[in-house]
Structure 1
Amino acid sequence: MTTASHGVRTLHVSRVHLVAVGSAVSVSRAFVRQTLAHWKLSDYAPDCALMMSELVSNAVKETGFADRQPKSWEITAAHVVAVQLRAIGEVLYVEVWDRSPLVPVKQEVTAEAEGGRGLHLVEALAKDWGIYRPPAGGKIVWAMVPLASLPSPSLDGPTLQLRMPDGVTPPPGPVKQQASTALMQRVLDGLRQLL
C-alpha cells in the first residue's frame, strides 16, 4: 500500500544557507548526499546532487563570486544562497533560493559549447521543475523527483542536526531570514496543495 491509499503525507525538510562562492556547489552536493543518506534515500543522491549542483552553480553566477574566491570583507548579505531538500509523502523537491530576480534560461547547446547544459540536465532528471517567487523576495528554482518509498530517518536526536564545515554558512541577519522565510513559504504552499 502506498501513502496515497491511506491519505498519509509525511514532511521532511532540511536546508542550509551558503555564501555564494564556487565552493558552495560542492558543499551543496555533500548536503544532498548526507541528508538523503539520513532519510534512507541514498539511491536518489547521485541525480539529486547533480541537480542541486547545477541550480547552485546558476545561483552563484547570479548573486555571488563564481570566478574567484572573494576576500572576507567583500562578502555581504547579498551573497547568500539557500538550498533545501523537502520530501512530502512520496515526492522529493530540490530547491535553491537566491536574491536575484532574473529567471534562469535554458540555453541552446551545441556540441562545441563548454557550458549551458545545467537546466537541460535538471529537466532530464526531474519529473518537473520551475521557478517560484516567494513573497519574501528573490526566487526559488525547484526540481521534483517522485520517490518509490517514504523517507525514514532514524529519530536519534543528535544526528538530526546537520553538521557543516566551519565557515560555509553566512552570518545570521536579514538575508538569512529572508531565505528561510522564502523556503518556508514554499513548504507551506506545498502543504496547502495537499488539502
Structure 2
Amino acid sequence: MSADLTEGRREPMTAAPSEVRTLHVSRLYLVATASAVPVSREFIRATLAYWKLDHHAADCALMTSELVSNAIKATGFKDRLPKSWEVTAEHVIAVQLRAIGEVLYIEVWDRSPMVPVKQEVTAEAEGGRGLHLVEALAKDWGTYWPPAGGKIVWAMVPLITLPSPALDGSTLQLRIPDGIEPPPGPVKEQASIALMQRVLDGLRQLL
C-alpha cells in the first residue's frame, strides 16, 4: 500500500505577484496502535528525504512520534497490540506533512475532540514529556478543530531551503505493513476531509 497523497502546487502570493509559494503535501492513514509510531517516523523520514529536506528529519520524526503516541492514547490501543478482529473502521489516525513556502507543518489527526495537555514533569517522572519536547523543537504548535470533526495537533518548523523536486506530479510510494493500514469507512473519510480542510485553511491565510 502507499501513502495517500504526495503532491505539489504553485500558489500565488498576493503581496508580490511575481513570487510563488510551493505547496507540498503528503498524508498517511494508520490504525491507532503502537505500531503506528515507528511507521509514522519512517513516513516522515522518507518524505523529507524525497523533498530534499533531510536535515529536518530527526527533529520532525521525534515530534511525530510524540503526536502520534498522544493520538493513540486518545482513540486507540495504547497498552497492547490488538487482535485483527478488534480493529474496526473507527480505529484511524492520520499523519500529514505539509510544506508551504518557507514553513513545514507536521499534523496528526484523531477522532477525539479532547485537547492534549502538557503534564507537569518532575525529575522522577518516567513519561509525560511529549508535548514539552514538541514545544522545545517546534517554532510553534497547537490544536486545530476541523469542521469535519476530530482534532489536528500540529507543529510548525521554519524551512531554510524550499522543498523539491520540481512540481512534476511525481508520487512517493510508501509500503504500509500489514495490519497497520486502517479499513475504509466513515472515520477514514472524515480524517481525509479534516486534513484537506487544514490545507485549505492554510491557503486562505495567504490571501
- The question of a shared fold, defined as TM-score above 0.5 by the shorter chain, is answered with yes
Letter of the 1:94 counterpart? I
The answer to whether the 8 A contact 2:88-2:183 is kept is: no
The answer to whether the 8 A contact 1:106-1:119 is kept is: yes
User: Which of 169, 176, 196 is the aligned partner of 1:164?
Assistant: 176
In structure 1, stretches of 5+ residues that fail to align are none
Mapping 1:8-87, distance limit 5 Å = 8-87=20-99
Once residues 85 and 179 of structure 2 are traced to their aligned partners in structure 1, the CA distance between those partners, rounded to angstroms, is 14
Task: Answer with 164-173 or 58-67: which moved more.
Answer: 164-173
User: Which of 137, 140, 150 is the aligned partner of 1:125?
Assistant: 137
Which is richer in helix?
1
Match of 1:146 in 2: 158
Letter of the 1:183 counterpart? L
Letter of the 2:172 counterpart? L
Task: Give the drift of 1:173.
Answer: 1.6
SS at match of 2:93: strand
Which is richer in strand?
2
User: Which of 114, 122, 126 is the aligned partner of 1:114?
Assistant: 126
The answer to whether the 8 A contact 1:38-1:154 is kept is: no
Task: Give the drift of 1:57.
Answer: 0.2
Task: Specify which structure has the bigger relative contact order, considering alpha-carbon pairs within 8 angstroms and separated by 6 or more residues.
Answer: 2
Q: CA RMSD in A?
A: 1.7
Task: Give the drift of 1:77.
Answer: 2.0
Match of 1:176 in 2: 188
The answer to whether the 8 A contact 1:98-1:179 is kept is: yes
1:193/1:156 Cα in 2 relative to 1: closer, same or farther (>3 Å)? closer
TM-score, with normalisation over the residues of structure 1?
0.94
Letter of the 1:145 counterpart? V
Residues 78-132 of structure 1: CA distance to partner in whole angstroms, max 9, x if unpaired? 2110000000011000000000111100001000000000000000000000000
Task: Give the drift of 1:162.
Answer: 3.1
SS at match of 1:10: strand
Task: Give the drift of 1:168.
Answer: 1.9
Once residues 118 and 30 of structure 2 are traced to their aligned partners in structure 1, the CA distance between those partners, rounded to angstroms, is 24
The answer to whether the 8 A contact 2:96-2:108 is kept is: yes
Match of 1:97 in 2: 109
Identical columns (%): 80
Once residues 96 and 103 of structure 1 are traced to their aligned partners in structure 2, the CA distance between those partners, rounded to angstroms, is 13
Letter of the 1:27 counterpart? V
Once residues 124 and 107 of structure 1 are traced to their aligned partners in structure 2, the CA distance between those partners, rounded to angstroms, is 14
TM-score, with normalisation over the residues of structure 2?
0.88
SS at match of 2:56: helix
In structure 2, stretches of 5+ residues that fail to align are 1-12
Task: Give the drift of 1:154.
Answer: 5.7
- Across the two proteins, how many residue pairs are aligned to each other? 193
Residues 125-169 of structure 1: CA distance to partner in whole angstroms, max 9, x if unpaired? 000000000000000000000000100026677653333333321
Task: Give the drift of 1:8.
Answer: 1.2
